[in-house]
Amino acid sequence: MHLLKMSKSRIFQICGIMAPVFMILLIFYWDDVGTTHFYLHTAITSIRVSHLPPVADLNRDQLHSKKSVEERTPSSEADIIQGNLDLTYVESTMGYQKGGGSHEFEQTFNAISVPSFEEKLPGFDLGIDSIKTKTELEWIQHERKRKIKDVCADSSITFSGKNRNFEDIPNKELDHLIVDDRHGIIYCYVPKVACTNWKRIMILLSGSILKQGSPYHVPLEIPRDLVHNSTSHFTFSKFWKRYGKFSKHLMKVKLKKYTKFLFVRDPFVRLISAFRSKFGIKNEDFYSHFAIPMLQLYANYSDPPPSVNEAFSAGIKPTFVNFIQYLLDPRTEKDRPFNEHWRQVYRLCHPCQINYDFIGKLESLDEDASYLLKLLNVEKFVQFPPSLRNRTVSSWEEDWFSKIPVAWREKLYELYQPDFVVFDYPKPTNLLFD
């Protein structure tokens, strides 16, 4: 008995010594072999699918007949083929639904709907008519990255957290960085910038959640609530739990080795989009946490309806003016930082600390998405879902801001200026004094 206890504690001692040694070895592994591992993996992926004809070249009727596909391709490719098949299937199903779900469309314009329907709507910027060459796309990326470097190096431009080191960023501020270790990808998600679909792609690539034991192959099959559940993603802010005191070092190694990307959009247009999706349609959470205080503080409702349903049936909603007032109110950030839907991108993604390899813009989403998936070497494996929402576009800006006093617009610009400057969006002079 005594002997057994001795050996047990001995084992614990050994474990205590071995654990850090193991972690150090792991870090060396990442430092030295990580890259090889990464390229090996993606190379295999592309070799495995390379002999398949591109989906677009296949006759869709033939695709739907499983027999002809199986004849065409060896069974070892089944999983990937299945993925392509499903993708095509979803596309054609959507065509079939055409004109059907307009009620649902109005209720949740963020949800996936019908592409052919969207094309008919005025004010949509699908951006698919401008096909750029690879050189042009490379140049655009080069310019976007250069702009960030210049701004970060320019000491005349200041904003909070600009000059700190990566090590000094608190863990909870790293909760928007999603890691895919299988392909060596890090995505910083920005709400209101196609993040649902990019999160879907990250789930699909990393295999972080499964459907009845097997990975998802089609982004749109992953339900929204699962996509936005934080347990579905492995973020930097979770490293501490898994890797303890080595987590910051591991993060830095991964930041060095992995391909890092984010998507941004015009900051003011993003605010309109956030307002529409969180206050223009019923949302109990946003109603109780944000709309009620806005109604009390800025709209003279001392006792607003307790539920979003009652408020909507009484026609009581915060206005865009109330929302802007809320953003400009110094009391708003006293307790907690801005909600992620309107928090500035520079505070979510730390562009001066993280050297992003790819900066996508919502204004050129389709183009940027297909180029990025090629750069990540996964374009044969996954396609970006077509963007199908009633997207907020910049041509609406003057309308939306018409009731906002110009002095407030100036203040709002100051609040979001770092995002305008870092991501190279022009100052909206048409809305401001100068």
Ligand X SMILES: *[C@@H]1O[C@H](CO)[C@@H](O)[C@H](O)[C@H]1NC(C)=O
From 168-176, 223-231, 368-376, 426-434, give the range in contact with ligand X by CB under 6 A. 223-231
Residues between 371 and 400 with contacts to ligand X, criterion CB under 6 A: 390
Task: Quote the least distance from Cβ 272 to ligand X, whole Å.
Answer: 9
Going by C-alpha positions, the residue among 358, 386, 382, 393 that lies closest to residue 372 is 358
What is the phi/psi pair of residue 274, to 5°? -60, -45
From 28-36, 165-173, 225-233, 367-375, give the range in contact with ligand X by CB under 6 A. 225-233
Strands 214-215 and 210-211: antiparallel
As a whole number of angstroms, the distance between CA 132 and CA 307 comes to 48
Bridge partners of 338, per DSSP, are none
Structure tokens at 385: 């879902």
* Three-class SS state of 262: strand
Is 9 a binding residue for ligand X by CB under 6 A? The answer is no
Task: Quote the least distance from Cβ 124 to ligand X, whole Å.
Answer: 9
Is 158 a binding residue for ligand X by CB under 6 A? The answer is no
As a whole number of angstroms, the distance between CA 30 and CA 52 comes to 33
Residues between 292 and 331 with contacts to ligand X, criterion CB under 6 A: 300
What DSSP string runs through 379-407? TTT--PPPP-S----GGGHHHHHTTS-HH
- Report the 10 Å Cβ neighbour count for 343: 16
Is 231 a binding residue for ligand X by CB under 6 A? The answer is yes
- Of 270 and 380, which CB lies nearer to ligand X in the complex structure? 270
- Of 383 and 392, which CB lies nearer to ligand X in the complex structure? 392
* Three-class SS state of 298: helix
Going by C-alpha positions, the residue among 315, 156, 412 that lies closest to residue 428 is 412
Residues between 116 and 155 with contacts to ligand X, criterion CB under 6 A: 121
Stretch 100-119: interaction string toward ligand X, x if CB under 6 A: ------x--x----------
Residues between 271 and 290 with contacts to ligand X, criterion CB under 6 A: 276
Task: Quote the least distance from Cβ 146 to ligand X, whole Å.
Answer: 36
- Of 33 and 121, which CB lies nearer to ligand X in the complex structure? 121
Which parts of this chain interact with ligand X (CB under 6 A)?
A: 106, 109, 121, 225, 229, 231, 276, 300, 390
